[in-house]
Amino acid sequence: MFSTSVSRRLGSALAVTIAVALGATACGGTTKDSASNDGGSPAVGKADPNAATKKGLSIAFLPKQVNNPYFTTADNGGKKVVEGLGSTYKEVGTSSGTDTAGQVSYVNTLTQQQANAIAVSAQDPGALCTALKQAMKNGVSVVTYDSDTNKDCRQVFVSPASAEDLGRTQVQLLAKQIGGKGEIAILSAAQTATNQNAWIDFMKDELEKPEYKDIKLVKVAYGDDDAQKSFQQTQGLLQEYPALKGIISPTTVGIKAAAQYLAGSKYKGKVKLTGLGTPNDMRAYVKNGTVEAFELWDPAVLGGIAAHAAVALESGQISGAEGETLKAGDLGTFTLGKEGVISPGEPTVFDVKNIDKFNF
């Protein structure tokens, strides 16, 4: 259980700046060598941490949604690491955050193209499973980052921070902003999103505590990581619940759209909004008094660790078993937890005092 207080986080916010290589994405097309996976990554538990890092691999990133600034930053963090390790990077994906059929077809195509490894943020936990299992059977290493699939449909999951920490701290942030009292709502992404759903479960659990007895969660709405739908859902929440005191939006697309709605309404500064956003998206709303504080991790670090995990799996340095060590260069050294989950650390809380230190 995490007891770190939000105020302590505020004081200890770290400016982790990762130089992100922006630019055109390279195309893969590398042919798999016969020694790789099945030949590829080793059977779970059969890793050699001292194995040499393979070069010339083709590593593909498949985010939940392309053209989402959060994933642009995350995937560019992955690109930098992949290229720095002497392999080839490419990014493919759908522009909608709810196109699970599209994600499945990208996985199938990457398998046919004999990509060495796929790093994927799943729109839906179950929908990708068959395709990912097929990929692994064909020797493709599979890492999830940001949003997981089921544990037997990938080898490693790089979680942005612990799901419990993320869920509880968003409630703590909002409770403080509304003075511990009133109706609140959640504006999420897709109804199937593994990451948002895991965080929402911990939000609900946190709200069970006696200190939140005067706070009532009235609705969980879904904006599907679509700006227009998220804007309309925010408007709808205020119409349906005129006494609403606050909104938690655990999605960078949702929180930005909700801030945009609130900023242009009579609710600006009165209805509190927190959740997960990028400092660049939210800066204007923090400065104009629409939003007090929200949080996030550095997406480039998340993508970078996912890239290291993909290369380490292909190199046989890790297999996805609990207790193994992932050496992620400048990004640190991580121990794989239960079910192959890596959780890099705590999110950073952004407010008017520190937001200008961040550029992502």
For ligand RAM, the binding residues (CB under 6 A) are 64, 68, 70, 121, 146-147, 189, 195, 225, 251-253, 276
Rounded-to-integer distance, Cα 211 and Cα 180, Å:
8
Q: Both ends of the chain: CA-CA distance in Å?
A: 29
Crossing angle (nearest 10°) for helices 69-84 and 299-315: 40
> Are residues 30 and 116 in contact, defined by beta-carbon separation less than 8 angstroms?
yes
- The single-letter DSSP state of residue 265 is S
Q: Smallest gap, in angstroms, from Cβ of residue 276 to ligand RAM?
A: 4
Per DSSP (E only), the strands in the chain are 58-62, 88-91, 117-120, 141-145, 156-158, 182-188, 215-222, 244-249, 272-275, 293-296, 325-327, 333-335, 341-342, 348-351
Nearer to ligand RAM by C-beta: 41 or 195? 195
Nearer to ligand RAM by C-beta: 276 or 318? 276
Q: Smallest gap, in angstroms, from Cβ of residue 166 to ligand RAM?
A: 9
Going by their DSSP bridges, the two strands 348-351 and 325-327 should be labelled as unpaired
Q: Smallest gap, in angstroms, from Cβ of residue 15 to ligand RAM?
A: 19
Rounded-to-integer distance, Cα 39 and Cα 33, Å:
8
Nearer to ligand RAM by C-beta: 267 or 297? 297
Nearer to ligand RAM by C-beta: 183 or 351? 351
Nearer to ligand RAM by C-beta: 68 or 354? 68
Q: Smallest gap, in angstroms, from Cβ of residue 114 to ligand RAM?
A: 28
Q: Smallest gap, in angstroms, from Cβ of residue 41 to ligand RAM?
A: 25
